[in-house]
Structure 1
Amino acid sequence: MQITCIAVDYVFVPKSRVDEFTKAILKTLQNWYGSDPQKSKDYGRIVSQKHFDRLMSLIDHRQSGDIIAGGQSDREDRYIAPTIITNVDFHDVKLMGEEIFGPILPIITYNDIEEPMGLIAKQ
């Protein structure tokens, strides 16, 4: 048996389309979870306090990026809002150094498709 991970850890977006992309994500989050995802019956929770703390550490101790949505959390409820982070450096050791497995999406922009292709090939 072969197991494949389907969790998204980050997304590459052309710089010229980042605004369009982030608007679409924000609209989708609104459609799926409403204005307060914590109150949505469809929005899950982090599986344990240990993983909650690990995810919050990724957000709080990142070395790059701007939170454009989310970032709110409630440790007692093991809730982390869907968090979108733009202007992320692919070499941000904290945020990009491990698989995320949580509601955090780093967005990495590029000018030329060869940029992300080169970064991916080095992994």
Structure 2
Amino acid sequence: MTRRRKHLLFETELSWFILVGALDVFMTYLILRYSAEGRTRQVLIESNPLAQWVLRHWGIRGMVVFKFVMIALVAAIAEIVGQTRPQLGRGLLILGTTVVGAVVIYSLRLFLENVI
């Protein structure tokens, strides 16, 4: 008996989304770490209220886990939606990549402007 291997519907889009999401996690960690150590011109904080709550209750490790769980959740939703509506699933990943990419660019700018 041969088993058919299941594949991801949107491998390219998913890869970009995960990469940009990981960059967001890295930039968030870097900004919060430098700010906590007093290595920025001003105090920099997490602006997402839910992520802020996670950070307050579980610290930076909790924040990293939270962000990766959100990446996995969006990826799973896109794959599930894509089973019946491929354009919508692909569009969700493209939109997510674009939005998170804009956040990464903003975070990088914020970091470079404020690092001492």
TM-score higher than 0.5 here? no
For normalisation by structure 1, the TM-score amounts to 0.30
For CA contacts below 8 A with separation 6 or more, give which structure has more relative contact order. Answer: 2
Greater Rg, structure 1 or structure 2? 2
For normalisation by structure 2, the TM-score amounts to 0.31
Higher strand share: 1
